[in-house]
Amino acid sequence: MLTWLAKFARIEPEPTIVYIYHIDHEHDRTYAENLAEYLQGAGAACVSIQLRADGLRPELALCLHDRPGVVVGFNATLDHSWLPSGSFLEAAERTGTPVLQWILDHPSARWPEFYASTASNCRYLLNTEEECRYFETYCVPGALTAPMGGVGPNRRSRVARLAENEFHRRRFACIIPLSLHRVRSMAENRAAMDALDAPLADAAREAIERAKFDLAGPLDGHVQAALAARGGVVPAGVFNALCHIVEQSVQEFRRLKIFSVARNHPVLVQSDESAVPLVAGAKAFMEADVGMQYTWARVPTCRAVLSVSPPGGMIHDRTLNALNAGCVAILEDGPAGRGIFEHGKNALLFRYDDDSIEECLRIVCEQPDRAYEIARAGMKLRDDPRLRFGRFHNLLELARRGAPARAAS
């Protein structure tokens, strides 16, 4: 009887559930919040689980049984995870469970932290198409990758409306939340440069000079050109190390340029302790080591947010949170920004080889009426599908692409 009924009954397939696993770190918790908000809005089932700190993580077994599951982790968290029976990635591969590792920084900086990940036991989410290409070339040839376009906006920054009188009463003319200490500190990066052999150090310095004003070209193109000028070919690991040094150095140059201009304006600078001497005694206000969630919660008390985007092909979440809060978005004049924003109309765009940073800060600090009109126009874009979680659909598409058959239990 049951067999006969099953032939005619319409049995819906059990929905896939997305397991978001993260460590106890504020950044990872915030990214998990953003991803869960997107998945819930897209009608996908998801659960966010905080992992043990010691690497032995039996809670990961939940995603391997009972329901079809997709597993997402940030940076090398899942690579460094173990079940009582052994490597989590090996267990996931045996059961056909898609594992997606979301690399949040340039892959040259993060890939050395991985040791158990392959092209067969997981897929990789990166920020941009350029980073996907880089990863497939210099990190894991044959890997399945997809771009996410950044980590998305956070609910804490979103305001219901933007009234002109309230905008003018906001406490800070502009907030500049930029760290100098990123994957590693400036001192650590300089030590890495000093440890290079002379020809490689010369190539790295030339690549930095090529890249520091370039807001459009891929980072590795500058490194390749500098090596080619010296007739050099290096292994992938060495090339990754060079790219990490160059990327960190370029970001250091750009952030120091911003701080050198911002210190002369009544703006709020948030950074790490290494930036304190750069702002001390100036017009700008300085706060060190402020948490991410508090930062997004205070963005609605600011009239503008100045941001940089290390991957030139994406709009950074600082800009997305600016739009969320009805702030003037101040961002780099690169192809990603120019494709959506118009300078002076719905955002302010700047470069590093002219006085445009100064111009942007003068507008938000000295022309509040003009700043309000720009902020109001920019806020209309906050739900634009190109911006708000615009590429998060790639996560589910990557999980389905080439998915191995799930083993019978």
Per-residue pLDDT tens for 139-162? 999 999 999 999 999 999 999 999
Rg (C-alpha) for the chain, rounded Å, is 23
Look at residue 15 in the predicted model and tell me its pLDDT: 59
For the four alpha carbons of 343, 349, 352 and 354, in that order, the dihedral sign comes to: positive
Mean pLDDT score across all residues of the chain: 92
The answer, yes or no, to whether residue 10 has pLDDT greater than 70, is no
Burial status of residue 139 (CB atoms within 10 A of its CB: 0-12, 13-18, 19 or more): buried
The answer, yes or no, to whether residue 8 has pLDDT greater than 80, is no
Residue 189 is assigned to a structural domain of this protein: no
Residue 55 is assigned to a structural domain of this protein: yes
Tell me the per-residue pLDDT of 392-403, one tens digit each, with 9 for 90 and over: 999 999 998 865
Pair 36, 46: CB distance under 8 Å: yes
Stated as kind and residue range, the H or E segment containing 277 is: helix 276-279
Q: How confident is the model over 220-244, as a mean pLDDT?
A: 94
- Candidates 348, 346, 345, 335; CA nearest to 384 is 346
Look at residue 310 in the predicted model and tell me its pLDDT: 86
Q: How confident is the model over 173-187, as a mean pLDDT?
A: 94
Residue 260 is assigned to a structural domain of this protein: yes
The answer, yes or no, to whether residue 329 has pLDDT greater than 60, is yes
Q: How confident is the model over 34-51, as a mean pLDDT?
A: 94
Which tokens belong to 218? Answer: 């891929």
Look at residue 404 in the predicted model and tell me its pLDDT: 46
Tell me the per-residue pLDDT of 285-326, one tens digit each, with 9 for 90 and over: 999 999 999 999 999 999 999 999 988 889 999 999 999 999
Pair (173, 98) in one structural domain = no
Pair (296, 273) in one structural domain = yes
Residue 112 is assigned to a structural domain of this protein: yes
The answer, yes or no, to whether residue 115 has pLDDT greater than 70, is yes
Stated as kind and residue range, the H or E segment containing 332 is: strand 328-332
Look at residue 304 in the predicted model and tell me its pLDDT: 98
Pair 309, 336: CB distance under 8 Å: yes
Pair (177, 312) in one structural domain = yes
Pair (46, 169) in one structural domain = no
Pair (89, 177) in one structural domain = no
Least confident of 25-34, 60-69, 256-265, 348-357: 60-69
The answer, yes or no, to whether residue 2 has pLDDT greater than 60, is no
CATH number for 94: 3.40.50.2300
Pair 105, 182: CB distance under 8 Å: yes
Q: Give the SS3 label for residue 317.
A: helix
Pair 112, 240: CB distance under 8 Å: yes
Amino acid residing at 346: N
Strand pairing report for 86-87 and 82-83: antiparallel
Residue 190 is assigned to a structural domain of this protein: no
The answer, yes or no, to whether residue 409 has pLDDT greater than 60, is no
Which tokens belong to 114? Answer: 């991985």
Pair (276, 338) in one structural domain = yes
Pair (59, 109) in one structural domain = yes
- Domain hosting 344: range is 157-184+248-379
Tell me the per-residue pLDDT of 338-395, one tens digit each, with 9 for 90 and over: 999 999 999 999 999 999 999 999 999 999 999 999 999 999 999 999 999 989 999 9
Pair (92, 174) in one structural domain = no
Pair (305, 169) in one structural domain = yes
Q: How far apart are CA 33 and CA 49, in angstroms?
A: 11
Residue 8 is assigned to a structural domain of this protein: no
Helix count and strand count (H, E) for the chain: 17, 14
Nearest-10 Cα torsion for 235, 236, 242, 245: -150
Which tokens belong to 331? Answer: 């961002």
Pair (22, 144) in one structural domain = yes
Look at residue 223 in the predicted model and tell me its pLDDT: 97
Pair (336, 396) in one structural domain = no
Which tokens belong to 301? Answer: 């008390």
The phi, psi pair for 101, rounded to 5°, reads: -105, 120
Residue 77 is assigned to a structural domain of this protein: yes
The count of domains in the chain is: 2
Pair (162, 116) in one structural domain = no
Report the percent of the chain where pLDDT is more than 70. 94
Look at residue 405 in the predicted model and tell me its pLDDT: 44
Look at residue 14 in the predicted model and tell me its pLDDT: 52
Tell me the per-residue pLDDT of 118-134, one tens digit each, with 9 for 90 and over: 999 999 999 999 999 99
Q: How confident is the model over 243-253, as a mean pLDDT?
A: 97
CATH number for 281: 3.40.50.2000
Residue 229 is assigned to a structural domain of this protein: no
Which tokens belong to 64? Answer: 């391997």
Q: How confident is the model over 261-280, as a mean pLDDT?
A: 94
Report the percent of the chain where pLDDT is more than 90. 88
